[in-house]
Chain A
Amino acid sequence: MNHAALAEDFIKDKPRAKWHDETLWFVRSKRDKAASALPEWETLRECAAQIKAHTVANLAHYLEQFESQATKRGAVVHWAKDAAEHNQIVLSLLQSRGARRLVKSKSMLTEECHLNPFLERNGIEVVDTDLGEWIVQLAGEPPSHIVLPAIHKKKEDVGRIFHEHLGTDEGATDPNYLAEAARGKLREKFVQADAGLTGVNFAIAETGGIVVCTNEGNADLGVSLPALHIASMGIEKLLPRAEDLGVFLRLLARSATGQPITSYTSHFHGPRPGAELHIVLVDNGRSDILGSEEFRRSLSCIRCGACMNTCPVYRRSGGHSYQTSVPGPIGSILAPSRDPKTYASLPSACSLCGSCTDVCPVKIDIHHQLLTWRRELNVLGLLPRSKRWGMQGMSYVFRHPRLYQWAGKLARLIVPRLPRFLLYNRFNAWGRQRELPEFPRQSFREQYEARRHEQQK
């Protein structure tokens, strides 16, 4: 995949691209307001980062503690090395209980594992019950954002999709009307479901419980009617103690959407009477990232989406241009960790402005890691030739001061005199949406020399 090429597709529709940019910036502004309302915001971020570092440093211990506590409470804990094993575990649980209809709440892990198509191939009806996820599911698309899955859809798009699938009035665009139609249909699905699957926002080693956050209450509805609750979680979701949740729940929703907390923050400990709770712990490459000094901190991510909302590249290129279950800045670190060859273009989808690092609630050094990835990709020989040659050329010029001075002089002399077609053509990607800056007559060095000369007189 090539991010730049896919982004080019996205920005063809200029008004829509602008709308997308502004919508996400609006969410970012709400986050700023919520964060600044807490004077201890920076302390919370620091505590969160420390808790995550501590957990990761003792992950095996905490996973074992979690397993034993959860088991004591009557849950069944499963372990999956990779996506295929996770999917097989879920399918076996459903098949052995004769479950054919599954309702899901949001889980980026199951997106990562491509669970839905796998289950559908095996005859299971899967319904994503988060409204945003359901919209993209009906549209046959993956989510474009981890918190706002249908952020790329306008209400006219949703109206069309619902007209086709739910029979709502043609041309209807009123969000209240559309959401009401979804409510009716999805409540039917909740009542008919044989099993419910949720993701996990946090798991607590000390108590063996899991925490799931939603605004719609869809996770709770999905797992409180049928007799089977499956929870899929990455092994990095663990926290040592219940008190740690105090820190993370103050950060999560504020960072995500600017809400002080989600409408429903549910703590599940063991199954409800007469039902079953199965928790699937998934590695799928996480233990490898754990061993990397440079990228370990990316495992601290709590999937709030703040880095996406603030990212000037994400806002202007859309989530689908990343082609990963987690897009945006953090996704551009996680995806190459799993498959550097396919996702080699993602670490370059970044201006290194550092805004992601500033808003990250767990203080992941996101833009530093993206820069590190570019170096790694170069070492692996995965950068495109144009970039490699360009950088080799620049490196040679920078290492030879006289050549550098001469090249600068030449450029100042020639470039302003060149005809437009030589400057703005298909070989100059930078010139496509912007004008070159006006060239100064003198370089800094020349100005400095002249000034010193002046002063000595």
Chain B
Amino acid sequence: MSSRNSILKSIRAQLLPAAERPDLNRDWLRYPDPWAQFQTQLAGVGGQAVRVANMEEVTASLALRPEFVAAKEIVSTVPGIAGNIDLESVQDPHALETTEWAILPAQFAVAENGAVWVTDQCVKHRVIYFLTQHLVLVLPAGEIVHNMHEAYARVTLGESSLGLFMSGPSKTADIEQSLVIGAHGPRSLTVFCVGD
């Protein structure tokens, strides 16, 4: 008998009491000002959320950051923000190793925990989210949910090979519980919420 069948058989051989799934349609926690909650939560994990009126303001805001101005390799898949590496024309994702900044789209934010939902649907090499030194996510205004239950009601899992909640830059506290920002992935995360 294959291992598959023998495992399934031994599970089915056990007599287990029936148990109902709970109803998850409840009045889960909501926030009076979800954006403020999101901003506070993201700041708490080392990220930064900025509200701007339009793409020009994103560009202007980035121009104020010396690391961005000095950067030689910038990937952008967000219309209206210029990069100098075309992700689509890169064949091997390893070539992105030296990317310094990436400006990528995000779908929506979660107030409860300061996370944003991103996917690799229109991003040819998903590794860019993790490999770049600094990450900027651009989020359309109003795209925010209160909690994770609303978040899962909104996403269709499986639409893309990767979908993730990202909350802050890469970090570790594995050396004596001291928080270090920039473990292996991005050293900074800035979320721009664009529009009114």
Contacts and interface: CB of A to CB of B under 8 A. Distances in A.
Given A59-B11, A132-B174, A39 B29 contact: yes
A183 interface: yes
Contacts of A266: 162-164
Contacts of A265: 115, 164-167
A220 interface: yes
Interface of A: 23, 26-27, 38-40, 43, 46-47, 50-51, 53-54, 56-57, 59-60, 63-64, 73, 79-81, 85, 129-132, 135, 148-151, 153-155, 158, 175-176, 178-180, 182-183, 186-187, 190-191, 204, 207-209, 215-218, 220-221, 224-225, 235, 240, 242-247, 249-250, 257, 259-273, 281, 283, 287-288, 290-291, 296
A215 B170 contact: yes
A401 B112 CA distance: 59
B48 interface: no
Contacts of A207: 157-158
Given A80-B3, A187-B184, A220 B28 contact: no
Given A215-B171, A246-B148, A260-B112, A81 B3 contact: yes
Nearest to A43: B26
Contact of B8 (A63, A80, A155): A63
B127 interface: yes
B150 to A, nearest CB: 8
Interface size class on chain B is: 35 or more
Question: Chain B contact residues: over half helix, strand or loop, or mixed?
Answer: loop
Give the most central of B15, B28, B160: most A CB within 10 Å.
B28
A164 to B, nearest CB: 16
Given A263-B45, A269-B159, 5 more contacts: A51-B21, A54-B20, A57-B16, A155-B178, A179-B182
A220 B19 contact: no
Contact of B97 (A191, A246, A273): A191
B161 A217 contact: no
Contact of A243 (B11, B127, B149): B149
A259 B170 CA distance: 14
Contacts of A242: 152, 155, 157
B165 to A, nearest CB: 4
Interface of B: 2-4, 6-8, 10-22, 24, 26, 28-29, 41, 44-45, 93-94, 97, 110, 112-115, 120, 125-127, 129-131, 147-149, 151-153, 155, 157-178, 180, 182-186
B132 to A, nearest CB: 11
Contacts of A153: 175-176
B98 to A, nearest CB: 10
6 contacts: A132-B172, A150-B174, A183-B184, A264-B170, A287-B7, A296-B16
A175 B171 CA distance: 12
Nearest to A218: B184
A273 B170 CA distance: 25
Nearest to B155: A242
Contacts of A263: 45, 166-171
